[in-house]
Amino acid sequence: MIKRTQGQKMSTTNFDIEIGLVLHTERKRQGKKQEEVAKYLGVSLCQYQKYENGKSKISPIMLLQLGYFLGKSGGELFSEAEKQYYKNQIN
């Protein structure tokens, strides 16, 4: 278990990068702009870009909201990222 002191941020991981790649790929596939997604989520464009770039962790509720916006379940987005993560671990 990772212990943090109050106010200390957890660093991102390779899995956060995979989540971001899935979000980026799905958004582009649907022809949506980052600005549209950020507005829907109620976050700044900069914050949304951090999600896509894997520089910021995304909460489970935010993943569910993203899934809804993109027409997928949060579980589907997570599962796609999980597959890529393990595929990259093997290679």
Q: Which residues of the chain have pLDDT under 50?
A: 1-5, 8
Can you give the pLDDT at residue 85? 85
Residue 47 CB neighbours (<10 A): 15
Which helix or strand (DSSP H or E) is residue 56 part of?
none
Can you give the pLDDT at residue 42? 96
pTM to 2 decimals?
0.80
**Which residue spans within 30-72 are E strands per DSSP?**
none
Can you give the pLDDT at residue 2? 40
Residue-wise pLDDT tens digits, 40-58? 999 999 999 999 999 999 9
Within 13 A of 6's CA, how many CA atoms are on the CB side? 0
